[in-house]
Copies of this chain bind each other. A is one copy, B any other.
Amino acid sequence: MDTRPLLLNADIGESFGAWQMGNDKALMPLIDCANVATGFHASDPVTMQRTVALAIKHDVLIGAHPSYPDKEGFGRRSMACSCEEITAMVIYQVGALKAFCRAQGGILGYVKPHGALYNDMMQHQHVFEAVLRGVAAIDASLPLVVLALPNLEQHEADAAALNITLWPEAYADRAYTPEGFLMSRRQKGAVLSDRKQILEQARMIATQRQVRANDRSFIELPAVTLCVHGDNAESVATAADIRAMLNEMESSL
């Protein structure tokens, strides 16, 4: 089992123009990795500039969070894009964010696709390969965050062919099917809201790289990183609890 400390990641910088979203200032000090929106589902150049500055200030690893081009749908609507389009949109967005990082003396650390692009990449190999080609075109040393599944062999093989490292991620606040997938948000009980239960799931992922599925069976998840949310005061407080727990675990090693 993986005994390395689990990295906390969160979606950051998702305001857009006059519209605010999330609570970046409260969340940034709690996380290891910031998935920074790159202007296609959220954000704009000024917001990206400021978000990168905030991440650097808190010494948080900056990741690019590219999306389908759909602000109105917040990148959550699957779009039938061609592989060429997907590769090019990844290059465009990651390149733009990288420029803000370099301009401020920061470093771009990884890539995590957003929303529907993330889901499509996990379900369709041609989408996954198109994303990989985009990452490789920028810099194959950038890890790509994927959903931690019990079996990631095919994904690992595809990534290895382009010398890309995968960072499987697990979720503390989502229910899992016995096959290791996230329950669809459309189903009842898909999103955990009980703070104790979320903390317990986070602890199991951190210590055993396991979660308990919705049928009470145990699933092995090779997670390198854990995704938390900061949409509201409640979720920020939960993220703080998870951060404290991880810190305690690390200091007790």
Contacts and interface: CB of A to CB of B under 8 A. Distances in A.
A182 to B, nearest CB: 17
Nearest to A86: B45
Interface string A92-108: 11111111101110000
B99 A45 contact: no
B99 A92 contact: yes
Contact of A103 (B16, B77, B91, B100): B91
A241 interface: no
Interface stretch (A66-74, A160-168, A216-224): A66-74
Interface stretch (A17-25, A54-62, A188-196, A245-253): A17-25
Contact of A96 (B18, B72, B96): B96
Given A77-B79, A103-B138, A46 B96 contact: no
B21 A74 contact: no
Of A48, A84, A85, A89, chain B has the most CB atoms within 10 Å of the CB of A85
B92 A17 contact: no
A44 interface: yes
A235 interface: no
Given A45-B92, A95-B96, A18 B21 contact: yes
Contacts of A46: 84-85, 88
Contacts of A84: 46, 49
A204 interface: no
Smallest CB-CB A-B distances: 3 pairs: A95-B99, A45-B88, A103-B137
Interface of A: 15-21, 39, 42, 44-46, 48-49, 69-74, 76-81, 84-85, 87-89, 91-100, 102-104, 116, 137-138
